[in-house]
């Protein structure tokens, strides 16, 4: 399965059907890590389990997520499980809304947070220009066969072009938990004041 490139139109994604339903359950230990954000899921916390065929052998495997992370990165599976979610699931309507928002544009599920570029070497997947050191950039990941793999970066200022006008700020902030409050405010300001999607209108690279 080829990884989509740059600002190309959405491409179809292969999902692998499971014979077992996805589940919500209380974490019996604090050992499992969320596949979405990488943080530990605390003992006693409600977690979401996505059931997938085991790519390394027979049977199936379960990948665990914080429900909020699943809404942003495994929306279809979460929506399948929501009707049978426990009554005490926090903000069920909000989770459903975020998951449906993710399905509006496939690139949204690639968001893995934002950071200031530590070097000036990486190139933006949208405009193909180098991301200057210290500039805000959006981290991307691609999902394939049960794994999230690093997928490069996009200028924060290219977000309108890359996500084709769909709002990605909530998920950018969600997957940037380590930012200080001052950085978080600067990130939001830079996001809000990003220029229009001129790159697509003027024929920026789309492959």
Domains and CATH numbers, the chain: 23-102 (3.30.1740.10), 107-201 (3.30.1740.10)
CA 163 to CA 173: how far, in whole Å?
Answer: 16
Task: Give the three-class secondary structure for 71.
Answer: helix
Give the model's pLDDT for residue 54. 76
Long-range contacts of 175-179 (CB under 8 A, 24+ apart): 175/36, 175/37, 175/69, 175/72, 175/111, 175/112, 175/113, 175/139, 176/113, 176/114, 176/115, 177/37, 177/39, 179/114
What is the signed CA dihedral for 17, 30, 75, 5, rounded to 10 degrees? -90
Give the model's pLDDT for residue 117. 97
In the chain, % helix, strand, coil (3-state, to 5) comes to 30, 25, 45
Q: Any residues with CB less than 8 A from the CB of 73 and at least 6 apart, and which? A: 35, 36, 65, 102, 109, 143, 148
Q: What percentage of residues in the chain have a pLDDT greater than 70?
A: 84
pTM above 0.85, yes or no: no
Per-residue pLDDT tens digits for 108-152: 999 999 999 999 999 999 999 999 999 999 999 999 878 899 999
CA 25 to CA 44: how far, in whole Å?
Answer: 9
Q: Are 68 and 95 in contact (CB under 8 A)?
A: yes
CA 28 to CA 75: how far, in whole Å?
Answer: 24
Q: Is the confidence at residue 200, as pLDDT, over 50?
A: no
């Amino acid at each position: 399965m080829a990884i989509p490139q740059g600002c190309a139109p959405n491409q179809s994604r292969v999902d692998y059907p499971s014979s077992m339903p996805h589940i919500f359950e209380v974490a019996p230990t604090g050992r499992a890590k969320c596949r979405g954000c990488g943080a530990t899921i605390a003992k006693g916390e409600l977690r979401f389990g996505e059931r997938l065929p085991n790519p390394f052998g027979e049977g199936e495997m379960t990948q665990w997520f914080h429900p909020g992370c699943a809404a942003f990165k495994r929306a279809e599976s979460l929506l399948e499980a929501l009707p049978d979610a426990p009554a005490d699931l926090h903000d069920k309507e909000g989770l459903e809304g975020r998951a449906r928002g993710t399905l509006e544009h496939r690139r949204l599920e690639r968001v893995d947070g934002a950071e200031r570029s530590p070097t000036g070497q990486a190139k933006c997947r949208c405009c193909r220009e180098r991301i200057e050191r210290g500039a805000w950039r959006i981290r991307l990941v691609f999902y394939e066969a049960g794994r999230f793999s690093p997928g490069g970066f996009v200028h924060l200022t290219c977000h309108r072009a890359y996500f084709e006008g769909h709002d990605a700020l909530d998920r950018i902030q969600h997957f940037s938990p380590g930012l200080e409050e001052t950085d978080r405010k600067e990130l939001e300001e830079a996001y809000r004041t990003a220029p229009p999607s001129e790159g697509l209108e003027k024929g920026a690279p789309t492959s």
